[in-house]
């Protein structure tokens, strides 16, 4: 009977060891997911701040000729200081991108990660018109009656990673609207997460 008792103790010890290993693996997996989420949230916030700074820079490109005549408009024509040029300049400086909007060393993104500008529009508030400053057809529309801008950008349509960002805001002055997308490089074998970030910057004038 003693050998059977020893065998039972050994089996019990093996069961406890297996359970401990499984519990440890589960804890590691949970820790990896939590760490990845923290990194995703942190990266998203940093990139959103960079995008906000870029649309702010674009909104500072005031058309001084129009302003001298009492018209509050942005400069979208003058090379180097136009609203779109200033937007791209500070988007690249703050996010650490090259001229092709690819992340370089020192960027908040992994080097080689592209950033796509899905929307870049200017709303001429006084004229009640919308100008597409980007390279792609725009999804944005502007209601003159409601002074409201609406946009909807979707990535990876029809897949499990589909993501949509909408803009639906009332504006009270000339405005720059932008939506950009990029990829968050996840930890290990976890799937990369798409990031889709919107930003709106209005210009307020006081007489």
Question: Which residue ranges of the chain lie beneath pLDDT 70?
Answer: 1-14, 28, 32, 36, 187-190, 205-207
Give pLDDT, residue 207.
Answer: 56
Q: What is the pLDDT of residues 161-201, one digit of tens each?
A: 889 999 999 998 899 999 999 988 876 656 778 899 999 99
Phi and psi for 27 in degrees, rounded to 5?
-65, -40
Give pLDDT, residue 54.
Answer: 97
Distance linking the first and last C-alpha atoms of the chain: 100
Q: What is the pLDDT of residues 192-202, one digit of tens each?
A: 788 999 999 98
Give pLDDT, residue 172.
Answer: 87
Largest CA distance in the chain: 106
Give pLDDT, residue 1.
Answer: 47
Instruction: Write the DSSP string, 118-177.
Output: EEEEEEETTTTEEEE-SSS----EEETTTTEEEEEEEESTTSTT-EEEEEEEE-SS-EEE
Give pLDDT, residue 86.
Answer: 97
Integer CA distances (angstroms), 191 to 153, 197, 199, in order? 22, 19, 26
Give pLDDT, residue 5.
Answer: 53
Residue written as token pair 């976890």: 190
∠ Cα 154 123 71 (to 5°): 170
């Amino acid at each position: 009977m003693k050998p059977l008792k020893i065998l039972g103790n050994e089996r019990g010890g093996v069961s406890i060891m297996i359970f401990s290993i499984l519990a440890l693996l589960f804890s590691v997996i949970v820790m990896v997911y939590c760490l990845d989420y923290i990194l995703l949230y942190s990266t998203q916030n940093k990139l959103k701040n960079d995008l906000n700074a870029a649309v702010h820079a674009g909104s500072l490109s005031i058309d001084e000729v129009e302003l001298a005549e009492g018209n509050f408009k942005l400069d979208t024509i003058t090379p180097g200081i136009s609203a779109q040029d200033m937007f791209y300049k500070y988007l690249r400086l703050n996010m650490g991108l090259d001229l092709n909007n690819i992340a370089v060393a020192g960027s908040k993104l992994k080097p080689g990660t592209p950033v796509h500008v899905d929307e870049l529009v200017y709303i001429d508030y006084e004229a009640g018109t919308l100008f597409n400053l980007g390279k792609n057809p725009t999804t944005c529309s502007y209601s003159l009656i409601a002074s409201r801008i609406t946009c909807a950008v979707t990535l990876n349509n029809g897949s499990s990673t589909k993501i949509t960002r909408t803009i639906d805001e009332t504006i009270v002055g000339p405005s720059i609207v932008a939506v950009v997308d990029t990829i968050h490089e996840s930890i290990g074998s976890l799937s990369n997460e798409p990031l889709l970030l919107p930003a709106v910057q209005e210009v307020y004038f006081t007489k």
